[in-house]
Amino acid sequence: MVMNSEQPCGAKQKKVITEATGQIVPMGTETVRKEETQTPAMVQHTVHMPLEVVRVKKKRRSILGQAVQVIFRALTALCMIPAVILMVLRNEEIEIVDNRYVIHASYRSSPAFVYLVLGAGVAGCYSILGIALAFCSPRNRFLHTLDMMVLSLAMSAWSSAASVSYIGFYGNEDLAWGKVCPYVKKFCLSSRFSLSLSFFGSIFHFLVCTLSSA
């Protein structure tokens, strides 16, 4: 007895329609996979989606870093410029021992104070100029190099002036250096405020150098 391998007349073959092409494929002859249902446009969208997110995050970080850097530069200028003004404008002159000796206290009395005025003045003016440069290029190697040079100048000027101010306040018994500040209290007080402002200005400028190098 011969078996007929063909389907009986009237029998309908099961078929499936793919989502990608819309073609009718007989069941069992081809496996329909999920990957085949993705169009080229869908694949391209999934590839470029993370890249766009990364670009947006980088742009936001750049804007935030730029804003913080400008704030620290402004704080540096607000500390350095008043420090220079206090040191330059305060002069004091007193007479002791029956008008035989005259003590004239000003920033020109010590090379360390002159160095502080120059260093803090350069740092303050550069900070104002650096605000404009930070808007143009917040992460520039040349700008970072200038920041480090100004930081070195400001810190060295503050250190030298602080050592002279310490001797003026407390003296040095080993070297028989007497105290000067009990005689010129106003100048010593203004110099102390000037040193404090220049110190905080140096700290703010150090933070600027940290941000410009990131």
Nearest Cα neighbor of 134 from 212, 213, 214 is: 212
Into how many domains does the chain fold?
1
Picking from 125, 124, 91, 122, the residue whose alpha carbon sits closest to that of residue 108 is 91
Q: Which domain holds residue 169?
A: 68-213
pLDDT in tens, the chain (214 residues): 444 444 444 444 444 444 444 454 454 444 444 444 555 544 444 444 566 655 655 555 566 767 788 899 999 999 999 999 999 988 877 777 666 677 778 888 889 999 999 999 999 999 998 888 877 765 677 888 888 999 999 999 999 999 999 988 888 877 778 888 888 888 888 999 999 999 999 999 999 888 877 6
On whether residue 104 sits in a domain, the answer given is: yes
Q: Is residue 60 part of a domain?
A: no
For residue 126, which phi and psi values (nearest 5 degrees)? -65, -35
pLDDT at 93: 76
In a domain, 50, yes or no: no
Q: Find the DSSP H helices in the chain.
A: 40-89, 111-136, 141-170, 185-213
Q: Is 199 a domain residue?
A: yes
Strands 15-17 and 101-105, how do they pair? unpaired
Domain membership of residue 49 (yes or no) is no
Q: Which residues contact 164 (CB under 8 A, 6 or more apart)?
A: 110, 112, 113
Residue recorded with tokens 């350095």:
80
Is 98 a domain residue?
A: yes
Residue 21: inside a domain, yes or no?
no
